[in-house]
């Protein structure tokens, strides 16, 4: 036995390869929720999200897109606010997500961050985002940048999401969409398709064994009551 005296043997498990590699496979269409970060009438993050939803549908996904219009600021309303409940129900329903934000003042928009801040890290002892897949995209009015997608990746890790390696960043978005709001053929469109394709593959690979992938020794040591108490601290 390895020299690991600090490990509590009752909670330390060998990797269950059968459970990890051969779970029962669901056959329903992957459920993907899409969030965008602008309220403008001609919102390029919304238009990009709509294009992504069309591609996901072609790939066999069921998609739902959340409109942030009417969502209150964090802590400025109760969790039973209709828009907050709509957002949280959508996240709970989903098996994967797409986050698409404009870059404003070198960062994601406050509208994008507000949506993420309303998604709880936990509901009781359950984390509604844990183990679900995430794809990140951004659009910019100027030159290409990766500030927003980098920030979204950090938030995805914080929310315990499985963020896919690929991402999309579209500069000068006003040149990439026609008057009807459809994205023009371009390498930027092709990259978005790549990202959605990758998201679908990772979702199909992981959705049936996310509990196994994120089964943690430290959390097995805690009782359900202790875990619920720790992740629901109201004083934060």
pLDDT, tens digit, 9 for 90 and up, residues 214-232: 888 888 887 655 766 766 6
pLDDT, tens digit, 9 for 90 and up, residues 85-136: 999 999 999 999 999 999 999 999 999 999 999 998 776 656 789 999 999 9
Tokens matching residue 123: 């509901």
Q: What residue segments make up the domains of the chain, in order of their start?
A: 29-213
What distance in Å separates the CA atoms of residue 101 and residue 132, rounded to the nearest whole number? 19
Of 167, 57, 166, 54, whose CA–CA distance to 103 is shortest?
167
Of 233, 216, 229, 198, whose CA–CA distance to 160 is shortest?
216
In this structure, are residues 118 and 110 in contact, taking their beta carbons and an 8 Å threshold?
A: no
In this structure, are residues 48 and 137 in contact, taking their beta carbons and an 8 Å threshold?
A: yes
Q: Which residue has the higher pLDDT, 34 or 216?
A: 34
Of 163, 142, 143, whose CA–CA distance to 151 is shortest?
163
What CATH code is assigned to 29-213?
A: 3.40.50.360
């Amino acid at each position: 036995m390895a020299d690991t005296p600090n490990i509590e043997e009752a909670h330390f498990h060998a990797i269950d390869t059968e459970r990890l590699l051969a779970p029962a496979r669901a056959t329903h269409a992957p459920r993907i929720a899409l969030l965008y970060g602008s309220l403008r009438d001609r919102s390029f993050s919304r238009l990009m999200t709509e294009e992504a939803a069309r591609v996901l549908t072609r790939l066999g996904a069921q998609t739902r897109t959340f409109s942030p219009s009417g969502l209150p600021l964090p802590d400025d309303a109760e969790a039973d606010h209709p828009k907050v409940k709509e957002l949280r129900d959508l996240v709970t329903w989903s098996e994967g997500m797409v986050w698409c934000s404009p870059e404003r003042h070198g960062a994601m928009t406050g509208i994008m961050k507000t949506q993420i801040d309303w998604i709880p890290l936990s509901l009781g002892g359950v984390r509604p985002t844990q183990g679900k897949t995430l794809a990140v995209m951004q659009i910019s009015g100027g030159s290409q940048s990766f500030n927003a997608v980098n920030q979204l990746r950090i938030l995805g890790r914080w929310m315990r999401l499985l963020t896919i390696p690929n991402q999309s960043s579209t500069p000068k978005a006003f040149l990439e969409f026609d008057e009807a709001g459809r994205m023009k053929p371009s390498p930027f469109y092709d990259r978005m398709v790549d990202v959605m394709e990758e998201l679908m593959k990772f979702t199909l690979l992981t959705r049936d064994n996310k509990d196994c992938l994120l089964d943690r020794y430290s959390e097995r040591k805690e009782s359900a009551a202790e875990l619920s108490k720790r992740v629901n601290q109201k004083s934060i």
